[in-house]
Amino acid sequence: MVYEELSVRLNDRRYKNWLKAGHCLRILKDGLHPYTNHEMRYFHGDLLNQNTLLRRPCQSSCNTKGNKLLGLCKVCSEWQTVILRHHRQPDAAVNWDNCRPPSWRHDHWELAKAYMPRGQMGKKSANQCDTSALLNLINYCDHFSSVDTRVIREVIRCRNELMHSCELHVDDEWMSRYQTSLKKLLHQFNHVAELATAAHQIKEMLTADWSICISGLDRMDSVDADGIESDSASQWEASADSISQWEVELLRDRLQEMLRDTETQDTEQLLRLSDFLQANRDLGELFCVELQAISSLEARLRGREREGSPSGT
């Protein structure tokens, strides 16, 4: 299969940087899944051991209303108190609507979601959560007291800059800062096997030359981070199939996040992403359903504008 359009996109170094940085987040996420799951299971069990009231079932099918907990039973009220006690910023807004209070007693991941950004209600396990959710969990829950939260917040900041880039571009200077931030973060977890593996994969990802891999024809020498010449046909280097898959996954994540988050939806950015996809035929075909959703949203917005204009009243 020939990836001519992908090859053209990868000739844009800043777009290639964006893709590489985004895929590094996915690698980081895969490493964080087992770690956060294990730690929250332990934390949950420790809370139950320390407080006998938390072991009791919910007494009145407690639930959230919007982002508020109203009329909680004694047990769920105690859970709320404990969650806030272990929140590094208890005065900050807690996204209670992520949670099902009756499940706090028996589901460690329902507890974890109280420390995450909104939009986690349907997430049943660690492997359903994205990098941002997992990093925020580590940042806000004091069970992770051994982790330097300054490093966590720096990677969160980089992640937000990357995913909110209107042009899907980042320059080399940004990539250098990003690489340093990831290195500092992963150094905190060098004792965790999955994250040590992630650190190795990320290092290789950031030093690989994807434009060489696309042609699959020429063998060229490149220089790695240590100044040692390495053959571009080495075992690790990605195929065009892999790069294309990573690109689609990253773009789909971005689209779904933008379409889902209706409260803070940036319509202009969404339309610019739509223009980018339509300008690339291969991507336009892959994302035809999402493009239709964006077109419908745009039509609704135009309808509201007409209704709100003097001539429409």
Per-residue confidence in pLDDT tens, the chain, 313 aa: 457 888 889 999 999 999 999 999 999 999 999 999 999 999 999 999 999 999 999 999 899 988 889 889 999 999 999 999 999 997 888 999 999 999 999 999 999 999 999 989 999 999 999 999 999 999 999 999 999 999 999 999 999 999 888 889 999 999 999 999 999 999 999 999 999 999 999 999 998 887 645 544 444 344 444 444 444 444 334 578 889 999 999 999 888 888 776 555 677 888 889 999 999 999 999 999 989 888 888 777 676 666 665 654 4
Nearest residue to 254 (alpha-carbon basis) of 240, 272, 239, 279: 272
Joined together, the tokens standing for residue 98 give: 């992520």
**CA 124 – CA 201 distance, rounded (Å):** 27
The DSSP symbol for 96 reads G
- Predicted local distance difference test score (pLDDT) of residue 231: 47
Q: Would the CA dihedral through 179, 183, 186, 190 be positive or negative?
A: positive
Q: List beta partners, residue 117.
A: none
**CA 114 – CA 40 distance, rounded (Å):** 12
- Predicted local distance difference test score (pLDDT) of residue 96: 95
**CA 153 – CA 167 distance, rounded (Å):** 24
- Predicted local distance difference test score (pLDDT) of residue 259: 78
Distances (CA, A) of 247 to 162, 218, 293: 14, 23, 20
- Predicted local distance difference test score (pLDDT) of residue 305: 63
Give kind and range of the element (H or E) at residue 236. Answer: none
Distances (CA, A) of 119 to 89, 122, 131, 241, 275: 19, 8, 13, 31, 26
Q: List beta partners, residue 141.
A: 87
**CA 50 – CA 205 distance, rounded (Å):** 44
- Predicted local distance difference test score (pLDDT) of residue 145: 95
Three-state secondary-structure class, residue 171: coil
Q: Which amino acid is at 58?
A: C
Nearest residue to 276 (alpha-carbon basis) of 302, 250, 300: 250
Contacts 24+ apart (CB under 8 A), 203-206: 204/236, 205/20, 205/23, 205/24, 205/27, 206/20, 206/24, 206/175, 206/179
Q: Check: CB of residue 123 under 8 Å from CB of residue 103.
A: no
Three-state secondary-structure class, residue 237: coil
Predicted TM-score (pTM) of the model is 0.85
Distances (CA, A) of 248 to 6, 23, 273: 11, 11, 13
